Chains A and B, each alone.
Chain A
Amino acid sequence: AQSVTQLDSQVPVFEEAPVELRCNYSSSVSVYLFWYVQYPNQGLQLLLKYLSGSTLVKGINGFEAEFNKSQTSFHLRKPSVHISDTAEYFCAVLSGGYQKVTFGTGTKLQVIP
């Protein structure tokens, strides 16, 4: 089975401060990992993805994530957030042999001016 845990439902952070959104996954086989962002009243937009290769993945809008196989984690980071980063962020996993992506419960990032 595959599952994703996003422990933080809300993360408040001041503008220009760094942020880390945590994601842990569970799977017995190789995985593909994704981070999506959802702005209010919009669909999900892919931020970045890990398929293979380098464990540090860079995405759009200055975000990056690091795949850590031993800790089964794929945390999302940004060194300096902007007001416009206020949104819901979803981590997702796709395991080998599965044909569907499982999403985490989401983390709401609130950037405080």
Chain B
Amino acid sequence: DTAVSQTPKYLVTQMGNDKSIKCEQNLGHDTMYWYKQDSKKFLKIMFSYNNKELIINETVPNRFSPKSPDKAHLNLHINSLELGDSAVYFCASSLTRNTEAFFGQGTRLTVV
């Protein structure tokens, strides 16, 4: 029974395309996140939602747009993909804003 699940696991696409990554958590958590992990394993938060409300929006290009239809889902849509967007994207959730995060398995995005 996967706690935080994201799809797809792998995504290969061409520059300029638009793609989405979906995330769902069945833990009943209030807060959800998107993190980006680059090739050097550096993890950086991109967005955070609390009860469907955006609370953190780091300096991420406008091409990235998160959407939270309900508390259990946080999707990430990326427009006009660029080579530099290639990375592993992790969805995570936490009970509240001040508790530890539980991570999904990641989506490896490769832009060619």
Binding site for B on A (CB under 8 A): 32, 34, 36, 38, 41-46, 49, 88, 90, 94, 99-101, 103, 105-106
Contacts and interface: CB of A to CB of B under 8 A. Distances in A.
B68 to A, nearest CB: 16
Interface in B80-112: 90, 92, 97-98, 100-106
A99 B103 contact: no
A90 B44 CA distance: 12
B101 A101 contact: yes
Interface residues of B, number: 21
The 8 closest A-B pairs by CB, nearest first: A43-B103, A103-B43, A44-B103, A43-B105, A106-B41, A99-B97, A100-B45, A43-B106
A32 B95 CA distance: 15
B48 interface: yes
A45 B103 contact: yes
A99 B55 contact: yes
B42 A106 contact: yes
Interface of B: 4, 40-45, 48, 55-56, 90, 92, 97-98, 100-106
15 contacts: A32-B100, A34-B100, A38-B41, A41-B106, A43-B105, A44-B92, A46-B100, A46-B101, A90-B43, A94-B98, A100-B45, A100-B48, A101-B101, A103-B44, A105-B40
Contacts of B55: 99
Given A46-B101, A99-B55, A106-B43, 13 more contacts: A36-B103, A42-B105, A43-B90, A44-B92, A46-B100, A88-B41, A99-B97, A100-B48, A101-B45, A101-B101, A103-B42, A103-B44, A105-B41
